């Protein structure tokens, strides 16, 4: 049976504010999770205090994977079967509108709710350690010593199924008001942001005969490329798309008015400068 293309829309993850930016598309949600390193896990403490903790994660199919100390923070809440909230945000650009009100950011964000499952099987924990390592450092899962029995026993591993999950994103240029578009005083545009990798800083205790793996020399993964490597930005994420013929026809009067206003201002001011 073919895999479902979307996650089922749930009450908790239904987007009400700017719903046109919402998505429940599974490939899109997975791509955001695969690009991120850090998520924020939120829960209610035993004292009734809301707590949010940043932590690393990995995606394993339709689940996220966490590891940590069994008695620490959110791990004990997962162990009790409590419902937690997990969020991941990627920042793609700074949107500079002509007005402060419409200035914004281009982003992709995923929010999920649910309980987690504590993994007890040592073989499964070992596999998930490798999944976690390869999420952060591609190919590193087989490029470092595997966890030993004591490390496996002393580390809690939680699988968090992606069921109640949604995505929200903003792309494209600023959304200025029409009267602001006619104002030549203020700049408007998007500053794209990207993450690059630099050459590694070698451990000073590294033995001279150790081979440096290619994935360390030129580290790359989803969303990250070496600094000297050409970086391709998707038009939908970073660049304003070319207007359609219908949109262009609407913009034409605005452009003509701006040009006429500019010529008129120049004609009025030129004699003053000539006399100065």
Query: In the predicted model, what is the mean pLDDT of residues 141-145?
Result: 88
Percentage above 90 pLDDT, the chain: 58
* Higher pLDDT pick, 225 / 103: 103
pLDDT of res. 82: 92
Q: pLDDT tens, 199-218? A: 999 999 999 899 999 889 88
Residues 173-199 pLDDT 10s: 999 999 999 999 999 999 999 999 999
Query: 172 — phi, psi (to 5°)?
Result: 90, -175
pLDDT range class, residue 4, cuts 50, 70, 90: confident
| Confidence band of 99 (pLDDT split at 50, 70, 90) | very high
Please write the tens of the pLDDT for every residue from 110-134: 999 999 999 999 999 999 999 999 9
Band of pLDDT at residue 3, cut at 50, 70 and 90? low
Residue 78, pLDDT > 70, answer yes
pLDDT at 247 over 70: no
How much is the mean pLDDT over the chain? 83
pLDDT at 269: 39
Nearest to 111 by CA among 221, 36, 4: 36
pTM above 0.95, yes or no: no
Give exposure, 85-115, as e/b (b: 16+ Cβ within 10 Å): bbebbbebbebbbbeeeeeeebbbbbbbbbb
* Most confident range, picked from 182-191, 233-242, 267-276: 182-191
- Look at residues 96, 90, 100 and name the one whose alpha carbon lies nearest to residue 190: 96
- The H or E element that residue 178 is part of is helix 178-181
Digit-coded pLDDT (tens) for 8-20: 888 888 888 888 8
Average pLDDT over residues 245-272: 43
Token duo for residue 243: 């207007």
């Amino acid at each position: 049976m073919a895999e479902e293309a979307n996650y089922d829309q749930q009450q908790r993850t239904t987007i009400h504010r700017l719903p046109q930016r919402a998505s429940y598309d599974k490939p899109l949600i997975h791509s955001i999770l695969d690009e991120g390193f850090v998520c924020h896990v939120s829960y209610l403490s035993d004292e009734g205090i809301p707590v949010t903790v940043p932590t690393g994660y990995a995606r394993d199919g339709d689940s996220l994977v966490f590891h940590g100390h069994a008695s620490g923070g959110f791990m004990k809440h997962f162990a009790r079967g409590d419902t937690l909230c997990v969020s991941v945000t990627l920042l793609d650009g700074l949107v500079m509108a002509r007005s402060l009100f419409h200035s914004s950011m281009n982003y992709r964000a995923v929010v999920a709710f649910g309980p987690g499952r504590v993994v007890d099987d040592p073989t499964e924990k070992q596999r998930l350690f490798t999944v976690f390592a390869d999420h952060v450092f591609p190919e590193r899962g087989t490029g470092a010593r595997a966890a030993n029995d004591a490390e496996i026993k002393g580390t809690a591993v939680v699988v968090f199924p992606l069921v109640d999950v949604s995505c929200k994103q903003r792309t494209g240029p600023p959304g200025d008001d029409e009267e602001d578009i006619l104002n030549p005083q203020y700049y408007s545009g998007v500053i794209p942001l990207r993450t690059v990798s630099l050459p590694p800083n070698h451990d000073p205790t590294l033995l001279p005969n150790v081979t440096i793996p290619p994935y360390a020399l030129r580290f790359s993964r989803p969303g990250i490329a070496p600094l000297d490597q050409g970086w391709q930005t998707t038009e939908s994420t970073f660049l304003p798309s070319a207007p359609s013929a219908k949109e262009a026809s609407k913009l034409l009067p605005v452009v003509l008015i701006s040009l006429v206003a500019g010529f008129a201002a120049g004609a009025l001011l030129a004699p003053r400068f000539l006399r100065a």
